[in-house]
Amino acid sequence: MARGLPLAVFDLDGTLSDTRHRLHHVRTAPRDWDAFFRAADDDLPLEAGVAMALEWAKKCDLGYVTGRPERCRRATARWIAAQGLPAGDLWMRGADDRRPARVTKLKLLERLAAQRTVAVVVDDDRQVCEVYRRAGFRVIRADWMPESGTLGEAQEKHGRT
């Protein structure tokens, strides 16, 4: 990836990928996060998010910040490529990181911004968007997938996204 261009940073779940088919894994306790993440291979693309990412890719490098755990890296990279999205750096949650997405993702983005100019960050999670805004980032909230309280609630209670 060229290092001279600014970055447009996109979330995956609920921004580029449609998670609705796998939410049943985290609707009730105990939540089955392993099954939830395994099913991500079958996510359909969210056309509005993919189109926006391709538009930003005309003037920026693309990068992807996700709350998915590191063990999902290979499958996630395959999914990104299969959607025709540009290759880009992929920043993921550490294996033992159970903090809420609003904490984990902000830390990932702050580390990234220390090395690169971040032009925009696009995410569907209201709380994540709010902490990004408060930290001074330009944010676009992805509102093209119908909201489901299921994932947001599960992320906050159990620190997994």
pTM of the model: 0.88
**% of residues, the chain, pLDDT over 90:** 64
Instruction: Count CB atoms within 10 A of the CB of residue 103.
Output: 14
| Domains recognised in the chain with CATH numbers | 7-158 (3.40.50.1000)
Strand order in the sheet with 89-93: 89-93, 61-69, 7-10, 118-123, 139-141
- DSSP 8-state secondary structure symbol assigned to residue 20: G
Residue 1, pLDDT > 60, answer no
Parallel/antiparallel/unpaired status of strands 89-93 and 61-69: parallel
Return the ∠ at Cα 111 (arms to 130 and 121), rounded to 5°.
Answer: 40
pLDDT digits (tens, 9 = 90+) for 30-56: 989 899 999 999 999 999 999 999 999
Instruction: Count CB atoms within 10 A of the CB of residue 117.
Output: 12
Coil, strand or helix: which one is 92?
Answer: strand
Distance CA 17, CA 49 (A): 8
Please report, for residues 34, 83, 103, 107, 118, the alpha-carbon distance to residue 149 in angstroms, rounded to integers and kept in the order given: 20, 26, 19, 24, 29
Beta bridge partners of 10: 64, 122
Confidence of residue 160 (pLDDT cuts 50, 70, 90): very low
pLDDT value at residue 161: 41
